[in-house]
Structure 1
Amino acid sequence: MRKAMTDAELKLWNEIRAHRLMGLAFRRQMPIAGYIVDFACPNRKLIVELDGSQHASHEVSASDAARTAKLTAPGWTALRFWNDDVIRDIDNVCQHIVIAAGLAGA
C-alpha cells in the first residue's frame, strides 16, 4: 500500500470520493483476492485500476491480465484506465465507471 497517490489517482479520487459520482461509495486501496486494488465500489463489486506507462510492456501486461482474471473470478468487474486518460479526460473515465456500475441513464 502506498500513502502518496499519483496525480491520476488523486484526480480520480477527487471525483469519486464521498459518494460524489452518482452516489457510488468507493474505497481506496482495498484488498481483494490477494491484491490491493486502487479503488473499489463494494456495493457494485466494481474495481477501478489506474495504469502508468510501465503497464504497456508485454511482461507487465501479461501480469495485469492474470491479476484481472484473479480479481474478476469472485464476481467483481475490473476496469483499467491509463493515467493519461484520467488526467486528460476525467469526464469520459467517470462516464465509463457509471456505465459499468449499471447507473447509465439514472
Structure 2
Amino acid sequence: MRIHALTARAVRESLTADELARAAGAAADALLEVWPEVVQVRPELAAVLRANTDALADHAPDILWDPDGHPVLFRAGTSLLDTGLAAPAVTYWRAMAGNASVRTASAP
C-alpha cells in the first residue's frame, strides 16, 4: 500500500503514543507475514519490503526495539545478504549492532 508522505505524517501526528505503538507493531507484524522465506526469486519484492521496514524503523525506532528488536528488522538484514547485497548488508548490520548496544546500555 502506498500513501502520500504528507498524509502519512498527518496520521502519525494525530495518533496517541499508544495508538502509534499498536500501529507500528501491527505494520511490522504485517511486513513479516508477507515476507517470503526465499526472496531471491523476487528481489523486487524484497526491495520493497526492505524499504517499508526502513521507513517504519525511521518513524518508530523505539517501538520496534521494545523490548528487543522486532524480527522484521532482522529479516531485512538477512534479505540484503540473500539478495547478494553484501556491502549494504554490512552497513545495515553495523547499524543494527549500534542500535542494540545503545538500547542495552540505556536499559535499567
Tell me if TM exceeds 0.5. no
Larger Rg: 2
**Which structure shows the bigger proportion of residues in strand conformation?**
1
Q: TM-score, normalised by structure 2?
A: 0.30
**Which structure shows the bigger proportion of residues in helix conformation?**
2
